[in-house]
C-alpha cells in the first residue's frame, strides 16, 4: 500500500504520484485521442492507488472533465479520487479570453461539478490570471464556494509572485501550480521561499520538459509540434540540455530504472513539492510512472543532479 502524503496545509492525502489528465479527452491538445482509452487510464490510475487526478476546463475543452465524471459515476466511490480542476478560459469567436471575475469563477465551478458528475471538487484552481480582477477578490469568491461545500481547497496557477501574494492576502490559497523542471528552475528562486513560508504546496507541470528529461532524444531529433516553441528545445541550448541529461543517466542505470523515474523522484525531494502529476497517453504509462516510488536517491545523488542542472 502506497503511503499517502498530505498536500501542504490541506486535508487532502494523496499518492505522491498523481495523474495529469490532459490527454484524457484533450482533443484540442492531442489529435486522434481515443476517449475509451482515456476512461481506461482513469480506471487504471484509481485501481492502482493513483488517486490525485488533475484536469481542467480547457482540456477538451470540457471533455476531460466529462470523461473523468463518467468513470467516477460508474465506480460509485467518489471518495477514492481527489479531483483537481481549473478554469479561467472563456471561448469566443475571436479566440480564448481569460476571466477571473467572481461571477465567472462561481459559474465555472457549478459547470465543472456538472461535468464531473459530483457535488464537490477537492481542489479548484484559477488556471491563469487575468489583467482586471483583484486576485484577493477572485480567491474570495472561491472561499465562499468552499464555505458552501462546493470546493474543498483553493489553488492558483501561472501567477507571478506578486499576484500570488495578492491572492493569498487572507491566507486562503492552499496550492500553486506552475511550470517547473530541471531545465526551468525559476520557481525555486521566485516562488518556493514564499510558498514554503506560507505552507502553500507547489504542483509542477511540464516535469519532464515535454520528454526532453526522459533521455529518449538525441541531437538528430526534430520537432514540428508545441515542443518546437519551448525554450529548452531551441537550437542554441538543445545540445547542452541533452548533455546534462546524459550526465545523470548512470544514476538511473545503477538503480535499474528509467531516467524519468530518477527525475521525478528528485522533485519529490524538494520541500515545496508534495505531489507530482506526470501525464500519460496509455494505461501502461500510468503504471510506469508509479515506478518512481521505487527510487530512493542518496543525498549525494540529489546534490549531483542539482549541480548538473544548475549551470
Write the pLDDT tens digit of every residue in 126-146: 999 999 999 999 999 999 999
Q: Residue 17 belongs to what H/E stretch?
A: none
Residue 33 has pLDDT above 90, yes or no: yes
Active-site amino acid positions: 59
Q: In the predicted model, what is the mean pLDDT of residues 228-249?
A: 91
- Residue 262 within a domain: no
Structural domain harbouring 281: 5-212+273-296
Which residues sit opposite 54 in a β-bridge?
20, 84
Q: Which region among 28-37, 103-112, 284-293 has the lowest average model confidence (pLDDT)?
A: 28-37
Residue 195 lies in a domain: yes
pLDDT recorded at residue 119 = 97
Average pLDDT over residues 59-73: 98
Q: What is the pLDDT of residue 224?
A: 74
Q: What is the mean pLDDT of the chain?
A: 96
Which triple of cell numbers denotes residue 108?
Answer: 465555472
Which of 138, 85, 127 has its CA nearest to residue 109? 85
Confidence of residue 229 (pLDDT cuts 50, 70, 90): confident
Q: Is residue 109, in this structure, part of any structural domain at all?
A: yes
pLDDT tens, position by position, 75-114: 999 999 999 999 999 999 888 999 999 999 999 999 999 9
- For residue 223, the model assigns a pLDDT of 81
pLDDT of res. 48: 97
* Residue 230 confidence class, pLDDT cut points 50, 70, 90: confident
Number of residues written out for the chain:
311
- Residue 234 included in any domain: no
- Residue 259 counted as domain residue: no
Report if residue 260 sits inside a domain. Answer: no
The three-state secondary structure class of 92 is: strand
Residue 165 CA to its chain's centroid (Å): 21
Model pTM above 0.85: yes
Whether 1 shows a pLDDT value over 70: the answer reads no
pLDDT at 2 over 80: no
pLDDT at 225: 72
CATH number at residue 93: 3.20.20.100
In this predicted structure, the answer to whether residue 311 has a pLDDT above a threshold of 70 is no
Domain count across the chain: 1
Q: Is pLDDT at 268 greater than 90 in this prediction?
A: yes
Among residues 173, 175, 145, 167, the alpha carbon closest in space to that of 54 is found at 175
- Does 56 reside within a domain? yes
219 falls within a domain: no
Amino acid at each position: 500500500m502506497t503511503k499517502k502524503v498530505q498536500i501542504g496545509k490541506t486535508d487532502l492525502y494523496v499518492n505522491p504520484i498523481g495523474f495529469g489528465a490532459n490527454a484524457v479527452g484533450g482533443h484540442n491538445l492531442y489529435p486522434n485521442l481515443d476517449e475509451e482509452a482515456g476512461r481506461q487510464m482513469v480506471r487504471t490510475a484509481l485501481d492502482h492507488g493513483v488517486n490525485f487526478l488533475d484536469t481542467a476546463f480547457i482540456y477538451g475543452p470540457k471533455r476531460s472533465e466529462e470523461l473523468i465524471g463518467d468513470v467516477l459515476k460508474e465506480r460509485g466511490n467518489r471518495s477514492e479520487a481527489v479531483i483537481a480542476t481549473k478554469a479561467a478560459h472563456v471561448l469566443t469567436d475571436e479566440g480564448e479570453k481569460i476571466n477571473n471575475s467572481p461571477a465567472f469563477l462561481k459559474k465555472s465551478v457549478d459547470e465543472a461539478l456538472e461535468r464531473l458528475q459530483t457535488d464537490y471538487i477537492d481542489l479548484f484552481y484559477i488556471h491563469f490570471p487575468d489583467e482586471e480582477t483583484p486576485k484577493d477578490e477572485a480567491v474570495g469568491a472561491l472561499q465562499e464556494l468552499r464555505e458552501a461545500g462546493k470546493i474543498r481547497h483553493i489553488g492558483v496557477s501561472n501567477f507571478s509572485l506578486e499576484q500570488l501574494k495578492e491572492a493569498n492576502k487572507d491566507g486562503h490559497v492552499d496550492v500553486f501550480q506552475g511550470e517547473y523542471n530541471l531545465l526551468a528552475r525559476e520557481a525555486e528562486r521566485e516562488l518556493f521561499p514564499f510558498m514554503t513560508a506560507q505552507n502553500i504546496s507547489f504542483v509542477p507541470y511540464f516535469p519532464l520538459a515535454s520528454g526532453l528529461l526522459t533521455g529518449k532524444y538525441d541531437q538528430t531529433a526534430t520537432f514540428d509540434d508545441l515542443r518546437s516553441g519551448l525554450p529548452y528545445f531551441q537550437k542554441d541550448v538543445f545540445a547542452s540540455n541533452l548533455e546534462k541529461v546524459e550526465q545523470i543517466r548512470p544514476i538511473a542505470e545503477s538503480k535499474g530504472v528509467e531516467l524519468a523515474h530518477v527525475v521525478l523522484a528528485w522533485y519529490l525531494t524538494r520541500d515545496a513539492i508534495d505531489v507530482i502529476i506526470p501525464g500519460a497517453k496509455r494505461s501502461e504509462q500510468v503504471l510506469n510512472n508509479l515506478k518512481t516510488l521505487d527510487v530512493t536517491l542518496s543525498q549525494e545523488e540529489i546534490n549531483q543532479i542539482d549541480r548538473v542542472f544548475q549551470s
